[in-house]
Amino acid sequence: MKILVTGAAGFIGMHTAQALLSQGHEVVGLDNLNDYYDVSLKRARLAELASHSGFEFHELGIEHGAELQALFAQAKPQRVVHLAAQAGVRYSLSKPQAYADSNLQGFVNMLEACRHHAVEHLVYASSSSVYGGNTELPFSEGQSVDQPISLYAATKKANELMAHSYSHLFGLPCTGVRLFTVYGPWGRPDMAPYKFAQAICAGQSIEVYNQGESLRDFTYVDDAVESIVRLLAKLPTAGAGPGLGSSSAPYRVFNVGNGQPVVLHEFISALEAALGRSAQKIMRPAQPGDMSATACDSSALDAWIGFRPATPLAVGVKKFASWFLNHHGLG
């Protein structure tokens, strides 16, 4: 079938597009190629996708509603994987308007396009950040997500609410994925794995926030993508789903995480081992908006699609480090 993947030049977007292309689908990629981080990395990801005959790319921002409607009218995607968004918790402290434009207005535009062009299923990225002030671990879909501690998290919670309203009002099948700290080859330079690897290889110190005691559920990218692809293939049906109470909309939300959280110190140790280099650490206090702990219960996901992320940290970090060293000519 023909599938639209937004954020196709992004980290998870590129991997998702590759997986769908390998299954024989046509993929229409959309991305605005903004300069939130190095655009050359985004173009390198697109070059990987361009080798597939079933891939076409459109440079477009989802905040432009009329242009987005025109693309849907032209491309006629049957299903949509919506991964385009303004990412990052800390960036939302200084650039809140970017989150309103992309994550709120852009998401409404995406819902409208799906509604008016008979899209069979919309799968969109939410985030583990929606759990905010929750302290009961592991996080499960039935818990309240009404205490976001960053604007980024608030926009992702808003996306879930918007999707549910369209699902209820217009029968649009929607599935949200609450992604937990995804890492791996072609990862984002603003995230800890890439930042740490870059500094370690350059002999520079790394800043370790919350004294390295933050608990994170690191999820290998191939596991996240496998979850997304399987979810895309299974349309949600009307009836109560995880965390939905009595809702009868064709709507679901699932955690997508490894379920084996580690403290940041452990991740750094695994990265040092994989790179064959030691880190010089500068300990810092926790940053505003950062969650002290994330841990994922993926049992609902497993029950729905027969799969849950399980790549061991050491295995995933080794694969990331191998890609990083090769990509930067350090191998």
Domain layout of the chain by residue ranges: 2-180+221-257+296-309
Q: pLDDT at position 244, please? A: 53
CB distance 216 to 258 below 8 Å: no
Region 271-276 average pLDDT? 97
Candidates 99, 152, 166, 183; catalytic one: 152
pLDDT higher than 80, residue 239: no
Q: pLDDT at position 213, please? A: 87
Element (H, E) at 80: strand 79-82
Coil, helix or strand for 328? coil
Q: What pTM does this model have?
A: 0.95
pLDDT in tens, 283-301: 998 888 778 889 999 999 9
d(CA 35, CA 109): 22
Structure-block tokens of residue 70: 């025109």
Residue 289, CB half-sphere, CA atoms under 13 Å: how many?
13
Q: pLDDT at position 246, please? A: 54
Q: What is the DSSP letter of 28?
A: E
Structure-block tokens of residue 285: 């206090």
Calculate the dihedral angle through the C-alpha atoms of 9, 97, 147, 250, rounding to the nearest 10 degrees: -50
- ω into residue 138 within 30 of 0, thus cis? yes
pLDDT higher than 70, residue 125: yes
Architecture per CATH, 2-180+221-257+296-309: 3-Layer(aba) Sandwich (3.40)
Q: pLDDT at position 241, please? A: 55
Q: Please, what is the average pLDDT of the chain? A: 94
The share of the chain scoring above pLDDT 70, in percent, equals: 98
Q: pLDDT at position 210, please? A: 84
Region 99-111 average pLDDT? 97
pLDDT higher than 60, residue 250: yes
Region 218-227 average pLDDT? 98
- Of the candidate ranges 9-18, 26-35, 238-247, 300-309, the one whose mean pLDDT is the lowest: 238-247
Region 215-243 average pLDDT? 89
Region 230-240 average pLDDT? 89
Q: pLDDT at position 240, please? A: 57
Could you tell me how many helices (H) and strands (E) the chain has, helices first?
Answer: 12, 13
- Asked about 152 being catalytic, the answer comes back as yes
Query: Could you tell me the pLDDT band of residue 118, with boundaries at 50, 70 and 90?
Result: very high
Q: What is the identity of the amino acid at 66?
A: A
Q: pLDDT at position 286, please? A: 85
Region 7-14 average pLDDT? 98
Query: Could you tell me the pLDDT band of residue 211, with boundaries at 50, 70 and 90?
Result: confident
Q: pLDDT at position 29, please? A: 98
CB distance 228 to 80 below 8 Å: no
